[in-house]
Chain A
Amino acid sequence: MTSKAYALEASHLTKSFGALKAVDDVSFSVYQGEIFGFLGPNGAGKTTTLRMLTGLLTPDDGRVAIQGFDLQTSLVKAKMQMGVIPEVGTIYVDLTAEQNLALTGRYYGLSRERIAQRTKELLSALGLYDRRADRVRTYSKGMRQRISFACAIIHEPSVLFMDEPTEGLDVQSRRLLIDMVLELNRKGCTIFLTTHNIEEANALCQRVAIINKGRLVALDRPETLRSSFEKTQSVEVSFDPPLDGDALCGGHVSKVETSGDKFILYTDDLHGTIEYVTDIARQRGVRILSLRTRGPSLEEAFVMLTESTSRGCVIND
């Protein structure tokens, strides 16, 4: 047994598929009762990591403990503590909502009475009690996702894993799901969720780990990470006659990229940068041909976090 302060401990997780290192030496811990976000672009290794955390995939290297149970030595005990909503995993469409819940409940060893009680509770809360005897085949995507969620928590897990849970959901289902997650968390359940949505991670999570190309590049509170994202706003500008990129370094500009005859100036202050650009144009006597602002970019944030050593202005051609 390891410390009970952590609901989940992962150390040096590594997994390769052929020559590709999908997850590379990833270590982190999640506190009891925390909502922990795992943020990264597509193909970053989020699903692979989650599969190793839930015991589906055996890591090439590294260890995982859930509530102190090591996955290698106490897999079934560790799994009893978890609820899992896989990225694309669905429930059985040939069974009714009730049957799906009962099946899951029995896998976790719940009694018949307990299953009946939980089924009523959950289906009522999710607004599907009237449809309980219908086959899931006839449900909409949002309804299936709700049943899927109910299945994952019927045994009241102490850690809930969700792989991009709100992906592709309509606004109403998304709202309902988030409320349920928050409610569950209030009751003490630790939540581990993956997402590629910055806003969602910021709004929901107490701490966020950022993964890119299989490597953990940051782990912090969302407020702290927000400044990293704000640095990735940009102004796209072109001049006539063309200017040299060096001339644009300064002010709030942290990085200059050229793309054709345009410059992309990364900054945490759009307003200041626009004023700065117009000042330069006036000083040099050149005309601004085009000017466009762009919001924060997740991809760019990952690049910046990965090469976070560089301070000041960098010019990339």
Chain B
Amino acid sequence: MRGIAVTTEKNMRIYYRKAPVVIFGLLFPLFMFVAFFIGRELEIELFFPAFLAMTLFFTSSSVGPLITPWEKQARTFERLLSYPITVGTLVLGDMAAGMLFGAAISVLVLLVGVAFVGVGISSIVLFLAALILGAICFASMGVLLAAPASSSPSNIMMLSSLIRFPLIFISGIFIPLGELEGLRLATSYASPLTYLVDAMNHAAGGPTSMPVVVDIAVLTAVSAVFLMAATAIHKRSLMKGL
């Protein structure tokens, strides 16, 4: 437990300020927002929950991929491994750093939304649950993306963008799930982000397509799978690039 907290704090101190986190975590969702919502006759309140989900997705998954490759390249990783902690501790500490980053930025975005756009949240409890679960889920995904890493942060950031970017197009953000059919609908169900979007819509009283229990269950299950996979793969590639 102590190891997780110390690792989280270390990550927050060092990695929140790194350029790739700022670019891929903050500027990217902002750019997407500007590109897709501004200047179109879309009702912003209607799409706000989806946008919030997208922000949470990008921010929380942007810290994880950076940490391990960066530590390997900066040659701090070997010493970190010599501390009295396990790989599981490191994975959870990296995940927590991403989760807190994503949750904090998303809350900020929500506050801006409430203040200027007149967005309403109908269930605070549900919103918080979706926020935390979504943050855990996609921060874990970020850590998983870093797992096979050797020591090249830029390669891993590229790879993780290649994987993250397509997800936002198949997750009911720009086109509500209700308007999709057949293969496109099936692809959407395969994206974990879809369930976060749906859960956010539940919380905000927007258009939903699944019971909220399903959303919560899927996000929880996917988080667990990501975390376990991340731990297993990290263990195997621990000494790569040292």
Q: Give the docked Cα–Cα distance between A85 and B82 (Å).
A: 9
CB of A104 closer than 8 Å to a CB of B: yes
How many whole Å from A170's CB to the nearest CB in chain B? Answer: 20
CB contact between B74 and one of A90, A104, A107 (< 8 Å): that residue? A90
How many whole Å from B8's CB to the nearest CB in chain A? Answer: 11
Contacts A106-B6, A109-B2 given; indicate if A86 touches B82 (C-beta within 8 A).
Answer: yes
Q: Give the docked Cα–Cα distance between A103 and B85 (Å).
A: 13
Query: A90 to B83, Cβ gap below 8 A?
Result: no
Query: A103 to B10, Cβ gap below 8 A?
Result: yes
Contacts A94-B14, A95-B13, A109-B2 given; indicate if A89 touches B78 (C-beta within 8 A).
Answer: yes
CB of B239 closer than 8 Å to a CB of A: yes
How many whole Å from A72's CB to the nearest CB in chain B? Answer: 13
Task: Kindly list chain B residues whose C-beta atoms are within 8 Å of the C-beta of A92.
Answer: 10, 14, 74, 76
Task: Kindly list chain A residues whose C-beta atoms are within 8 Å of the C-beta of B6.
Answer: 103, 106-107
Query: B82 to A82, Cβ gap below 8 A?
Result: yes
Query: A99 to B13, Cβ gap below 8 A?
Result: yes
List residues 186-235 of chain B with CB under 8 A from any CB of chain A. none
Query: B13 to A84, Cβ gap below 8 A?
Result: no
How many whole Å from A109's CB to the nearest CB in chain B? Answer: 6
How many whole Å from A18's CB to the nearest CB in chain B? Answer: 14
Query: A88 to B75, Cβ gap below 8 A?
Result: yes
Task: Kindly list chain B residues whose C-beta atoms are within 8 Å of the C-beta of A20.
Answer: none
Q: Give the docked Cα–Cα distance between A130 and B17 (Å).
A: 26
CB of A80 closer than 8 Å to a CB of B: yes
How many whole Å from B70's CB to the nearest CB in chain A? Answer: 10
CB of B40 closer than 8 Å to a CB of A: no
Query: B2 to A104, Cβ gap below 8 A?
Result: no
CB of B84 closer than 8 Å to a CB of A: yes
CB of A315 closer than 8 Å to a CB of B: no
CB of A133 closer than 8 Å to a CB of B: no
Query: A93 to B74, Cβ gap below 8 A?
Result: yes
Contacts A95-B13, A103-B6 given; indicate if A76 touches B74 (C-beta within 8 A).
Answer: no
CB of B81 closer than 8 Å to a CB of A: yes
Task: Kindly list chain B residues whose C-beta atoms are within 8 Å of the C-beta of A76.
Answer: 84-86
Query: B86 to A75, Cβ gap below 8 A?
Result: yes
Residue from B6, B9, B77 having most chain A Cβ neighbours under 10 A: B6
How many whole Å from A156's CB to the nearest CB in chain B? Answer: 14
**Which 9 A-B pairs give the minimum distances between C-beta atoms?**
A84-B82, A79-B84, A89-B79, A107-B83, A89-B78, A86-B78, A106-B6, A76-B84, A80-B84
18 cross-chain CB contacts under 8 A: A56-B78, A56-B81, A56-B238, A77-B84, A79-B84, A79-B85, A82-B82, A86-B82, A89-B75, A89-B76, A89-B77, A92-B14, A92-B74, A107-B6, A107-B83, A108-B84, A109-B2, A148-B79
* A56-B81, A107-B83 known, 15 other contacts, Cβ within 8 Å: A54-B82, A56-B239, A76-B84, A79-B82, A79-B84, A79-B85, A85-B79, A86-B79, A88-B75, A89-B79, A91-B79, A104-B83, A107-B85, A108-B84, A151-B79
